[in-house]
Amino acid sequence: MQRKLILMFDNLDDEIGEDACDTNISMEQSKILSFFECLLGMMRHSQACKTGLVITSRNNFLLTANRELRNAMLTIEVNSLDIEEARKLTLKCTKLNRRCNWSLSDQQINAIVTACCACPLAIRVISDVINDSTNATDVITILQMKRDVILSPSLRINECLSQPFEKLKEQKCTLCQLSLFGTTKFDLNSAAKIVFGKLEPNLNKREVIMKQTELKFTLLLFKTRHLLEIEMGECDCQETSFDHDEIFTRQKIYSVHPLVYKFLKDKANDRDMMSCIQNAKYNYIVYFDELVLDIGQEYETNVLVAREKSEKLKTHILTYKKLMEEYESFSYASNLQTLSSAEDARRRSNVVEMICNPEHHLNFLKAMVSKSEGKSFVKLSWEIEYITAKVRHHQCCDNIEEKCKQIEESLYTIKSDKLSEGELLQLHIFKGRILFLRGKLTNDMQFSKNCLYKAKQIFKSKQIYRTPFYKLYLAEIYNEFGCLFCRQKNMIQAIKMHSKAVKVLLQNNIQTDNIIIFYANLGQCYFSLRNFEESLKYYNWSIDLAKFYGMEGSDIYLRKLLNRGNAFLKLRKLDEASKDLKECSDLVKKLYDKPCRTEILIRHAQGCLIRRKIIQRHGLVSDEGKYILM
């Protein structure tokens, strides 16, 4: 007998749930589609393949997103339980906690299965209603009289969830608070942070354990009502001898059932629930803000670790971002005092940039600027981050130089004698960064050089030189000096400055994705010198580093890929160029909702590729293409 391997892909909706950011839904779907296209294509073309697939999904997007993929699939399981299995589950559930000595007839079981559309959750909930009812026969009679199913295609489950929800009494608020996690998994510690917030520092260890124990039993109560799912088995709660520390170090994984989550989203607007949910939102922001700042700090020295951490918390950080944008004011947020820190604003921006596309990153920064009215230092920090992001994403507007000038003028009106030591340090950083931005944005070569020189002097001053992050700014300044010399066609000096920027990072063991840009700029210098082989070497390094840091879906990776595509064109490696430009064309559509400069450059490069192919085919004299992206 031949053995067959079965691959199980359960609940794909966890990756593309409604609680995720809209743009990231499309990106996650595209990743899943690409994976299944590749996997099913391999299975279809292999005669010796003895592998089967089982896919479970409520969203069902695999059937509608790609015709070729749909045709390639042999079998897709998208149905509810098999009717016979649903009947067995109904019989089993309605025997629990029975007070009467009678069993359901086949007709009654069929009525329950039909009304529940063979959905396991609905069967369990309806069975609980029957078990708890003083007159179970009347409940079943009502179900038999129903002509429509409880679960319509839009998954209306309010009828069968309202009763168990109301029975929760004071625990209803806790369940609604946990719905902030969406359908993603969470542990006991995270749940405690959202429900209780930051505990008072004067609470002793025993009081903290008692609160966590109370919450743990509440979660188990939700599980018995089929409102919560637990991935792993719980410990025996009847044990009398156990170590509290051991129980809470082995965190179990919980998640709100997707159908329950849909139900709770409607309950969030109930007047009775609004206050506790608002408190939970604030607790959510405070808790994940600390994690975001930790990741942002890690990003400054080890971008790979930071990206791995942000990817693990991606869905939660997207929720955090959404709540930050929706929050009315942070003026009374005592646990968010670090909102006034320039470096913390930069760290938040870096983390959001890692998991969002450019449009959503800029929207987040714009929202934070609007919430900072009345707080000069807070507003200045977010305005500088917003301008920095606009420049980084190549989305500069006409008035951006004027805006930088206004910010610089306002910085020099602040009286330093009235500032604390921390605020004085922030003021110096602000001045250095705005001078750097003005030097980067202007077309006046001499003015640019003066601004960059002044910025370098600020970041080498005693006030900032002792701080660990000054070297990051210095590396950026040296890189911008390189870009300035490149615009002046002084490629030898440009190469020296870009190399110096790389050297600062390498000597200080700083892992940052800026090195991707620095290597690409070195490639551009050699490209301008028509040393295309050397140029290709640096472009390859920058792309390899982007992949190493997990940035294949970023706009930085897109631009470096376009750089390499142009280098391949110059070297007449048309197949390699075609592959890079095709990937560029696909990625730019995912990253940008509207046409952008990068897309225009890609189209130019593709036109150059077509012309070269025609020239190669017909043996004509070729023209030189001039399409390159800094």
Q: Residue 417 and residue 340: Cα distance in Å, rounded?
A: 19
- Cα distances from 248 to residues 36, 216, 221, in angstroms, run 38, 10, 18
Q: 614: pLDDT confidence band, cut at 50, 70 and 90?
A: confident
Q: Which residue has the higher pLDDT, 72 or 394?
A: 394
Q: What is the pLDDT of residues 374-388, one digit of tens each?
A: 667 778 888 888 888
DSSP string, 170-237: GGHHHHHHHGGGTTS-B-HHHHHHHHH-SPPTT--HHHHHHHHHHHHHHHHHHHHTTSEEESSPPP-T
What's the confidence (pLDDT) of residue 44? 66
DSSP, res 74: S
What's the confidence (pLDDT) of residue 541? 93
Whether 237 shows a pLDDT value over 50: the answer reads no
Q: What is the pLDDT of residues 415-462, one digit of tens each?
A: 877 777 777 888 888 888 899 989 888 888 899 999 999 989 888 887
What's the confidence (pLDDT) of residue 247? 35
DSSP, res 161: H
The answer to whether 353 and 389 are in contact (CB under 8 A) is yes
What is the maximum alpha-carbon separation in the chain?
A: 95
What's the confidence (pLDDT) of residue 235? 40
Q: Residue 353 and residue 348: Cα distance in Å, rounded?
A: 9
Q: What is the pLDDT of residues 55-92, one digit of tens each?
A: 665 555 555 455 555 554 443 333 456 778 888 888 87
Q: What is the pLDDT of residues 488-502, one digit of tens each?
A: 899 999 999 999 999
pTM given for the model: 0.67
The answer to whether 421 and 398 are in contact (CB under 8 A) is no
Instruction: Kindly state the tokens that stand for 534.
Output: 């050397």
What's the confidence (pLDDT) of residue 543? 92
* Of 49, 71, 137, residue with least CA distance to 100: 137
Q: What single letter denotes the amino acid at residue 19?
A: D
Strands 51-55 and 228-230: unpaired
DSSP string, 6-21: EEEE--GGGGS-TTS-
Q: 505: pLDDT confidence band, cut at 50, 70 and 90?
A: confident
Question: How many residues comprise the chain?
Answer: 630
Q: Which residue has the higher pLDDT, 502 or 33?
A: 502
* Of 400, 401, 430, residue with least CA distance to 413: 430
What's the confidence (pLDDT) of residue 50? 64
Cα three-residue angle 520-526-532, rounded to 5 degrees: 100
Q: Which residue has the higher pLDDT, 584 or 98?
A: 584
The answer to whether 526 and 587 are in contact (CB under 8 A) is no
Coil vs helix vs strand at 553: coil
The answer to whether 472 and 487 are in contact (CB under 8 A) is no
What's the confidence (pLDDT) of residue 481? 92
What's the confidence (pLDDT) of residue 397? 74
Q: What is the mean pLDDT of residues 214-223?
A: 82
| In the block, residue with structure tokens 């942000």 | 310
Distance, CA of 533 to chain centre:
37
| In the block, residue with structure tokens 């959404």 | 322
Q: Which residue has the higher pLDDT, 352 or 240?
A: 352
Q: 527: pLDDT confidence band, cut at 50, 70 and 90?
A: very high
Q: What single letter denotes the amino acid at residue 379?
A: K
The answer to whether 100 and 86 are in contact (CB under 8 A) is no
What's the confidence (pLDDT) of residue 528? 92
DSSP, res 467: S
Q: What is the mean pLDDT of residues 519-537?
A: 93
Q: Residue 518 and residue 482: Cα distance in Å, rounded?
A: 9
The answer to whether 444 and 473 are in contact (CB under 8 A) is no
Q: What is the mean pLDDT of residues 351-373?
A: 84
214 torsion bin: left (phi>0), alpha (psi -120 to 50), beta (else): alpha
* Of 124, 237, 247, 257, residue with least CA distance to 185: 257
Q: Residue 95 and residue 114: Cα distance in Å, rounded?
A: 19
Q: Residue 501 and residue 518: Cα distance in Å, rounded?
A: 7
Q: Residue 188 and residue 205: Cα distance in Å, rounded?
A: 16
Lowest mean pLDDT among 60-74, 88-102, 175-189, 301-315: 60-74
What's the confidence (pLDDT) of residue 518? 93
Q: Residue 164 and residue 194: Cα distance in Å, rounded?
A: 23
